[in-house]
C-alpha cells in the first residue's frame, strides 16, 4: 500500500525554482532513499511533505487520500514526523524535556507531569534501543546521540511516516551504525521512512529503494529488490553524467613526486604535542605536496590537531615546526602568517559571514594580513576575488551577491576559495565537505589535488572514510588523542580504516565490526 | 548525584560568592547577624531582588528589559499621586499599580513578540516613554503616600517575619509555581534555541509575551516595595534598578543569550549587589570611591561566572554511554 504519493509537486521561492516536477511514492514499512545534489530540492520536498511549506501545485496523497497540508501540526495529524537536518534540540534542556517539548501533557491546573514525561521519553528511546540517561542535558551528548534523541523526539509523536533529512551528516561510521540499528527497529514496527543522505553507501546499506532528484525533478528510481546495491548505478542519476573514474594517480608515482619535492625538508612537523587530556604526544610529519589524512572515530583528537595548527587552541606542549622553523602558533593570526589555512566544517558557524557579500567574505583573510599602505588596494583585491570565484566555479559568478542566498554547495566553495586566496602553504580541512553533494565534492577535491601537485601540503580530516580513501596519500589513525597507526597509500581501504579506527587490531573482534560497505 | 547537580547548577558560583560576601560583611559589621540588621537589610534588598527576578525572566527568554527601572519610577509616581488615606484607596491604588505594571510589560512583550525588534533598543525606547510620562505627572519628587502603607512595609509579623521577607517568600513561591508550568518550560526552550522551539510547534511569540508578563508581576512587587521604602513618587527612583538587575542576573549565572540559568541565581545576584553596597559603606571607603569600588567588585563577580569553564576542566566529563 502506498502511504504517501506525490505527483508533479511544484515550488518556487522568489523566482527561484526549487521543485518543478517532483514525483515520489512511499510504501508501507519501507525505507526509501532520497538522493540528489545540493539544491536539487530534496529538503524542499521533505518540508512540503511535512507541512512546513505549502507547494505551488501538484498532488499529495496520504494513505490514498488526497490531502492539502497547511501546517506542521496539520501534517502531524496524518502521523507524519520529520527529523530536521539542523537539529531542533534545545541544548540547555535535558533529553526528556526535549523529547516532550511542545507536546507536554499537563495535569489538572496545567501543571507539568514530569514523571509521566520521563517515562514516555524512556519508552521512546528504548524502542530504538538507545541507552542514554534521559535526565542528561543535550549539550553533553555526542553528535550521534543528539541525532538519536532527535529521532526519539519525532517518534514520540508515534508517526507512521518518518522523514530523516541527512541524519548522518555529522556522524562517523560507528555512529551511523547505531543510527541504522534504530532505523531497522522502526522498520520492524512498520514505520515508513524517507531517508535523505549524500553518502551513497548509506543509501545502499539501509534503503529498500531510492528516488533521485535533480534540479527539482524526479530523475528516476532504483529498486534494490531487483537491482544490485551498487553506488555506481546511483551517481549517474544524481549528476546526470557518468562518474569520471577516480582521477587518482598511481600511488607509487605520487610517492615519487612527493619525495622529489620533499628535498627541502617537511612542510610541517609536530613533535610530541600534547593538550591536557585531549592529545597525547602527537608527532607527525607533513611533506611538501602531500595530502595527509587523519582518520578514526569522531572526536578522538583529529579536530584538536587541526585547531592547534590553526592557532585556535592554546595551552599545548611540544614543538611545531613549519618549514623547519620552530613556531609558537599562539593565535590564529600567527598561523595565517605561517601560511596555514583552515577550512572549517561548519560553514554557518566558522566559515562565512552569511549576511555579507561573496566579495567581502573572500577578502577578509586577505585584508587581515594587509600591511603597508594606509588604504586597501581594493582594485587588486577585487580582481583576486574574481579569480578565486572562477577557480572554484561558484554559480552565479556575481561577487556582489549575499552569501546566504547561495546554495549550500556554493557556500562551501566560497569557504574554500577564501582560504585559497591566501595561497597557503599548508591547508587544513576539518570535515570540510560535510553536507556537500557528490559533484561539488569531487570538484573541490580535484582542485585540492591540483594545488597539492603544485606544492601545497594538506591535512585532511573527514568523518566519511570514502573521502580519505579517495584523496589521501597517507592516513594517520587517531585514537583517544594518540596516533595509533599509519596507513600508506597502497593500503588505504575501508576495511583497514574501520579496523584501525577501533584500535582493536589484536583483540580478534574484527568479525564483530563489519565495515559499512562490507 | 545530588551534590553533583548542585555543583553543576549555573547559580552555584554566585552562591559561593554570596557566602564569601556574608562572611566579609559579618566581619566588618559586628551586628550583622542581629535581627534588627537583618530586617533593615531585607527592606533595602527586597526591591533589587524582585527587580532581578523580573529581569531574569526576560533574559531567560533571550531578551533584556531596559525599561524596568523607568517602569518602577512610573509606578511610584502614579501611586504617590493617587493614593489617599482611606483603606479603599490604598488597596485600590495598589491594585491599579499592579495592573499598570502588567500593562507596561505587556506593551513591551507584545512588540517584542510579534515584531521582533532588538529588545535592547526596543525597551530603551519604552524606558524613555515611561520616563517622559512620569515627568509629565510629577516633574519633581513628591506626592503623598499614607503612613499606613509605608508603615506596613517596615512592620514585623509575629515578631520574627519582616514584611519584606513575606513579599520575597511570596515571590519565591511564585517562582516555584512557575517552574511547574508548561509555558515556563517553553520559555527556556525559546531562550535556548528559538528555531528548535519553532520546530517543536511552540508558539514563540506568545511565550515571549508570557515572559514579559511574568516579569511585570515581579516589577510590580518591586515597585510596591520601593514605594514602601521611600514613601514618595519620584520619576528617577527606579533608574538604578535597570542595569543593577541585569548585573544581578548575569552574576547569578543566567546566560545573557538566554535559556540558561534559574531564579535562584537572580536572587543570589540581587543579594550580592546589596551586600556589596553594605560592605563598601561599613569599610569606611570615601563616598567618592564607592561607585568605583562597586564597579570593580561587579567585574570580579562576573569573573566568578567564568567558574563553570574552570569547573568543566576539573570535573571528569560524563562517560559516553552506549
CA distance linking residue B73 with residue B129, whole number of Å: 12
Handedness of CA B118, B119, B120, B126 (dihedral sign): positive
Domain chopping of chain B, boundaries: 7-312
Q: What percent of chain B has pLDDT over 90?
A: 60
Q: Which grid coordinates belong to A99?
A: 523529547
CATH number for position A120: 3.40.50.300
Same domain as A353, residue A264: no
Least confident of A494-508, B96-110, B264-278: A494-508
Least confident of A364-368, A386-390, B46-50, B137-141: A364-368
Question: In Å, how far is B255's CA from the nearest CA of chain A?
Answer: 11
Last residue of a domain, one of A239, A261, A286: A239
Determine contact, residues B64/B117, Cβ cutoff 8 Å.
no
Same domain as A28, residue A107: yes
DSSP, collapsed to helix, strand or coil, labels residue A211 as: strand
Q: Is the pLDDT of residue B308 over 70?
A: no
Same domain as A275, residue A419: no
Handedness of CA A422, A423, A426, A432 (dihedral sign): positive
Which residue of A87, A93, A132 is in closest CB contact with B189?
A: A93
Same domain as A177, residue A205: yes
Contact across the interface for B192 and A131, Cβ inside 8 Å: no
pLDDT digits (tens, 9 = 90+) for B155-181: 888 888 899 999 999 999 999 999 888
CA distance linking residue A242 with residue A235, whole number of Å: 7
DSSP string, A49-79: HTTSS--SEEEEEETTEEE---SHHHHHHTT
Same domain as A375, residue A326: no
Handedness of CA B198, B200, B204, B208 (dihedral sign): negative
Determine contact, residues A55/A103, Cβ cutoff 8 Å.
no
Alpha-carbon distances of A486 from A185, A284, A476, B120, B140, rounded to whole Å: 37, 10, 5, 54, 80
Determine contact, residues B322/A129, Cβ cutoff 8 Å.
no
Q: Is the pLDDT of residue A112 over 60?
A: yes
Least confident of A304-318, A408-422, B210-224: A408-422
Q: Is the pLDDT of residue A514 over 80?
A: no
pLDDT digits (tens, 9 = 90+) for A36-81: 876 678 888 988 988 888 888 889 999 988 988 887 778 888 888 8
Exposure b/e, B205-234, CB count within 10 A at least 16 = b: bbbbbbbbbbbbbbbbbbbbbbbbbbbbbb
Instruction: Give the number of residues written for chain B.
Output: 322
Which residue from A293, A301, A328 is spatially nearest to A429, judged by alpha carbons?
A293
How many contacts, defined by CB atoms under 8 Å, are there between A and B? 71
Same domain as A275, residue A145: no
Q: What is the mean pLDDT of residues A8-26?
A: 83
Q: Is the pLDDT of residue B312 over 80?
A: no
pLDDT of residue A262: 64
pLDDT of residue B19: 93
Same domain as A148, residue A14: yes
Last residue of a domain, one of A379, A402, A423: A423
Which residue of B196, B201, B318 is in closest CB contact with A89?
A: B196
On whether residue A9 sits in a domain, the answer given is yes
On whether residue A27 sits in a domain, the answer given is yes
| pTM: predicted TM-score of the whole model, two decimal places | 0.74
Same domain as A390, residue A286: no
CA distance linking residue B297 with residue B289, whole number of Å: 12
CA distance linking residue A345 with residue A432, whole number of Å: 4
Contacts of B181 in chain A (CB under 8 A): 110-112
Contact across the interface for A101 and B189, Cβ inside 8 Å: yes
DSSP A44: H
Q: Tell whether omega for the bond before A396 is within 30 degrees of 0, i.e. cis.
A: yes
Least confident of A163-172, A347-356, B184-193: A347-356
CA distance linking residue A386 with residue B232, whole number of Å: 68
Handedness of CA B129, B132, B137, B138 (dihedral sign): positive
Fold type of domain B7-312: ABC transporter involved in vitamin B12 uptake, BtuC (1.10.3470)
Same domain as A211, residue A79: yes
DSSP A162: E
pLDDT digits (tens, 9 = 90+) for A248-277: 556 667 777 777 766 667 889 999 998 888
Helix, strand, coil proportions of chain B in percent (round to 5)? 75, 0, 25
pLDDT of residue A388: 81
CB-based contacts of A510: which residues, under 8 Å, 6+ apart?
A: A499, A504
Residue reference for cell 585540492: A448
Same domain as A378, residue A254: no
Rounded to the nearest integer, the mean pLDDT of chain B is 88
Q: Is the pLDDT of residue B134 over 90?
A: yes
pLDDT of residue A217: 86
pLDDT of residue A370: 75
Q: Which grid coordinates belong to A432?
A: 570540510
Which residue of B182, B188, B259 is in closest CB contact with A112?
A: B182
**Residue B161 buriedness (CB in 10 A; 0-12 / 13-18 / 19+):** middle
Q: Is the pLDDT of residue A310 over 50?
A: yes
Q: Is the pLDDT of residue A32 over 50?
A: yes
Same domain as A319, residue A219: no
- Is the model more confident about A163 or about B315? A163
Neighbouring C-alpha atoms within 13 Å toward the C-beta of A125: 24
DSSP, collapsed to helix, strand or coil, labels residue B101 as: helix
CA distance linking residue A289 with residue A38, whole number of Å: 30
CA distance linking residue B47 with residue B278, whole number of Å: 15
On whether residue A197 sits in a domain, the answer given is yes
Determine contact, residues B54/B219, Cβ cutoff 8 Å.
yes
Q: What is the mean pLDDT of residues A482-503?
A: 81
Most confident of A71-75, A247-251, A465-469, B93-97: B93-97
Q: Is the pLDDT of residue B320 over 70?
A: no
Contacts of A73 in chain B (CB under 8 A): 201
Contact across the interface for A136 and B181, Cβ inside 8 Å: no
CA A55-A58-A62 angle, 5° bins: 90
Question: In Å, how far is B45's CA from the nearest CA of chain A?
Answer: 30
Q: How confident is the model at residue A516 (pLDDT cuts 50, 70, 90)?
A: very low
- Is the model more confident about A239 or about B67? B67
Same domain as A102, residue A13: yes
Q: What is the mean pLDDT of residues B64-90?
A: 95
Question: In Å, how far is A75's CA from the nearest CA of chain B?
Answer: 12
Contact across the interface for B201 and A91, Cβ inside 8 Å: no
End-to-end CA distance of chain B: 20
Least confident of A305-319, A499-513, B46-60, B144-158: A499-513
pLDDT of residue A515: 40
Q: How confident is the model at residue B202 (pLDDT cuts 50, 70, 90)?
A: confident
Rounded to the nearest integer, the mean pLDDT of chain A is 82
CA distance linking residue B26 with residue A310, whole number of Å: 50
Question: In Å, how far is B178's CA from the nearest CA of chain A?
Answer: 9
Q: What is the mean pLDDT of residues A187-214?
A: 88
Long-range contacts of B149-155 (CB under 8 A, 24+ apart): B149/B83, B149/B90, B149/B94, B149/B227, B149/B228, B149/B231, B150/B227, B150/B228, B150/B229, B150/B231, B152/B228, B153/B43, B153/B225, B153/B228, B153/B229, B154/B43, B154/B228
Domain that holds residue A154: 2-239
Determine contact, residues B113/B205, Cβ cutoff 8 Å.
yes
pLDDT digits (tens, 9 = 90+) for A395-452: 777 888 888 777 777 888 888 888 887 888 899 998 887 777 777 788 888 888 888 8
Helix, strand, coil proportions of chain A in percent (round to 5)? 40, 25, 35
CA distance linking residue A290 with residue B103, whole number of Å: 67
Last residue of a domain, one of A382, A401, A423: A423
pLDDT digits (tens, 9 = 90+) for A115-162: 888 998 998 888 777 888 988 888 888 877 888 888 888 888 888 999
Q: Is the pLDDT of residue B310 over 60?
A: no
Domain count, chain A: 3
- Is the model more confident about A412 or about B270? B270
pLDDT digits (tens, 9 = 90+) for B6-39: 887 888 888 988 999 999 999 998 888 889 899 9
**Residue A15 buriedness (CB in 10 A; 0-12 / 13-18 / 19+):** exposed
Most confident of A17-21, A311-315, B64-68: B64-68
Q: How confident is the model at residue B60 (pLDDT cuts 50, 70, 90)?
A: very high
Which residue from B119, B276, B280, B287 is spatially nearest to B208, judged by alpha carbons?
B119
- Torsion of Cα atoms, B280 then B283 then B287 then B291, to 10°: -30
CA distance linking residue A423 with residue B57, whole number of Å: 50
pLDDT of residue B305: 62
Amino acid at each position: 500500500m502506498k502511504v504517501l504519493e506525490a505527483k508533479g509537486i511544484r515550488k518556487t521561492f522568489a523566482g527561484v525554482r526549487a521543485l518543478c516536477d517532483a514525483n515520489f511514492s512511499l510504501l508501507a514499512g519501507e525505507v526509501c532513499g532520497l538522493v540528489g545534489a545540493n539544491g536539487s530540492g530534496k529538503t524542499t520536498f521533505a518540508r512540503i511533505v511535512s507541512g512546513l511549506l505549502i507547494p505551488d501545485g501538484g498532488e499529495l496523497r496520504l494513505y490514498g487520500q488526497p490531502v492539502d497540508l497547511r501546517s506542521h501540526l496539520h501534517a502531524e495529524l496524518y502521523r507524519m514526523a520529520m527529523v530536521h537536518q539542523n537539529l531542533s534540540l534545545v541544548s540547555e534542556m535535558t533529553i526528556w524535556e526535549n523529547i516532550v517539548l511542545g507536546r507536554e501533557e499537563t495535569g489538572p491546573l496545567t501543571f507539568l507531569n514530569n514523571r509521566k514525561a520521563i517515562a514516555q521519553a524512556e519508552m521512546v528511546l528504548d524502542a530504538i534501543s538507545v541507552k542514554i540517561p534521559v535526565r542528561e542535558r543535550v549539550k553533553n551528548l555526542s553528535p550521534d546521540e543528539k541525532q538519536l534523541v532527535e529521532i526519539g523526539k519525532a517518534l514520540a509523536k508515534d508517526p507512521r511516516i518518518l522523514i530523516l533529512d541527512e541524519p548522518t551528516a555529522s556522524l562517523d561510521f560507528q555512529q551511523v551504525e547505531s543510527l541504522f540499528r534504530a532505523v531497522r527497529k522502526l522498520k520492524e514496527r512498520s514505520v515508513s521512512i524517507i531517508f535523505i543522505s549524500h553518502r551513497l553507501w548509506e543509501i545502499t546499506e539501509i534503503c529498500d529503494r531510492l528516488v533521485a532528484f535533480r534540479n527539482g525533478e524526479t530523475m528516476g528510481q532504483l529498486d534494490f529488490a531487483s537491482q544490485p546495491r551498487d553506488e555506481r548505478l546511483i551517481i549517474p542519476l544524481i549528476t546526470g553524467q557518468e562518474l569520471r573514474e577516480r582521477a587518482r594517480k598511481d600511488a607509487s608515482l605520487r610517492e615519487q613526486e612527493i619525495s622529489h619535492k620533499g628535498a627541502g625538508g617537511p612542510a610541517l612537523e609536530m613533535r610530541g604535542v600534547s593538550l591536557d587530556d585531549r592529545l597525547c604526544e602527537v608527532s607527525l610529519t607533513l611533506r611538501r605536496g602531500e595530502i595527509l589524512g587523519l582518520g578514526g572515530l569522531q572526536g578522538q583528537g583529529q579536530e584538536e590537531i587541526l585547531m592547534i595548527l590553526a592557532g585556535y587552541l592554546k595551552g599545548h606542549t611540544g614543538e611545531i615546526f613549519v618549514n623547519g622553523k620552530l613556531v609558537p602558533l599562539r593565535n590564529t593570526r600567527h598561523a595565517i602568517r605561517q601560511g596555514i589555512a583552515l577550512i572549517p566544517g561548519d560553514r554557518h558557524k566558522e566559515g562565512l559571514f552569511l549576511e555579507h557579500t561573496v566579495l567581502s567574505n573572500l577578502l577578509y583573510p586577505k585584508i587581515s594580513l594587509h600591511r603597508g599602505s594606509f588604504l586597501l588596494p581594493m582594485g587588486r583585491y577585487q580582481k583576486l576575488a574574481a579569480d578565486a570565484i572562477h577557480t572554484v566555479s561558484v554559480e552565479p559568478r556575481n561577487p556582489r551577491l549575499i552569501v546566504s542566498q547561495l546554495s549550500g554547495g556554493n557556500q562551501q566553495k566560497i569557504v574554500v576559495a577564501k582560504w585559497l586566496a591566501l595561497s597557503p602553504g599548508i591547508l587544513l580541512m576539518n570535515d570540510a565537505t560535510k553536507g556537500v553533494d557528490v559533484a561539488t565534492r569531487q570538484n573541490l577535491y580535484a582542485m585540492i589535488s591540483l594545488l597539492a601537485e603544485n606544492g601545497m601540503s594538506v591535512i585532511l580530516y573527514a568523518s566519511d572514510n570514502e573521502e580519505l580513501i579517495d584523496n589521501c596519500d597517507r592516513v594517520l589513525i587517531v585514537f583517544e588523542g594518540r596516533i595509533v597507526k599509519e596507513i600508506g597509500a597502497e593500503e588505504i581501504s575501508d576495511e583497514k580504516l574501520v579496523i584501525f579506527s577501533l584500535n582493536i587490531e589484536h583483540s580478534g573482534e574484527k568479525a564483530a565490526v563489519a565495515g559499512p560497505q562490507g | 548525584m545530588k551534590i553533583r547537580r548542585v555543583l553543576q547548577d549555573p547559580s552555584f558560583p554566585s552562591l559561593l560568592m554570596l557566602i564569601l560576601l556574608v562572611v566579609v560583611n559579618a566581619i566588618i559589621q559586628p551586628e550583622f547577624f542581629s535581627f534588627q540588621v537583618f530586617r533593615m537589610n531585607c527592606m533595602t534588598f527586597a526591591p533589587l531582588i524582585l527587580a532581578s527576578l523580573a529581569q531574569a525572566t526576560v533574559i531567560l527568554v533571550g531578551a533584556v528589559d531596559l525599561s524596568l527601572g523607568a517602569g518602577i519610577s512610573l509606578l511610584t509616581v502614579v501611586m504617590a499621586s493617587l493614593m489617599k488615606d482611606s483603606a479603599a484607596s490604598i488597596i485600590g491604588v495598589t491594585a491599579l499599580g499592579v495592573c499598570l505594571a502588567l500593562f507596561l510589560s505587556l506593551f513591551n512583550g507584545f512588540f517584542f513578540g510579534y515584531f521582533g525588534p532588538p529588545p535592547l533598543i526596543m525597551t530603551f525606547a519604552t524606558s524613555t516613554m515611561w520616563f517622559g510620562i512620569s515627568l509629565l505627572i510629577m516633574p519633581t519628587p513628591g506626592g503623598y503616600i499614607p503612613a499606613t502603607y509605608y508603615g506596613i512595609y517596615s512592620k514585623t509579623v509575629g515578631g520574627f517575619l519582616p514584611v519584606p521577607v513575606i513579599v520575597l517568600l511570596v515571590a519565591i513561591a511564585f517562582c516555584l509555581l512557575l517552574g511547574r508550568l508548561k509555558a515556563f518550560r517553553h520559555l527556556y526552550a525559546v531562550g535556548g534555541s528559538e528555531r528548535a522551539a519553532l520546530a517543536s510547534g511552540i508558539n514563540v511569540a506568545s511565550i515571549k509575551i508570557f515572559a514579559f508578563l511574568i516579569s511585570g508581576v515581579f516589577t510590580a512587587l518591586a515597585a510596591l516595595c520601593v514605594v514602601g521604602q521611600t514613601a514618595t513618587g519620584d520619576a528617577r527612583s527606579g533608574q538604578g534598578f535597570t542595569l543593577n538587575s541585569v548585573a544581578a542576573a548575569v552574576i547569578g549565572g543566567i546566560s545573557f543569550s538566554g535559556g540558561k540559568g534559574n531564579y535562584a541565581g537572580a536572587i543570589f545576584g540581587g543579594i550580592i549587589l546589596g551586600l556589596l553596597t553594605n560592605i563598601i559603606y561599613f569599610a569606611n571607603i570615601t563616598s567618592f570611591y564607592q561607585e568605583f569600588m562597586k564597579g570593580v567588585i561587579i567585574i570580579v563577580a562576573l569573573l566568578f561566572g567564568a567558574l563553570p569553564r574552570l569547573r568543566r576542566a576539573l570535573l571528569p566529563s560524563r562517560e559516553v554511554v552506549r
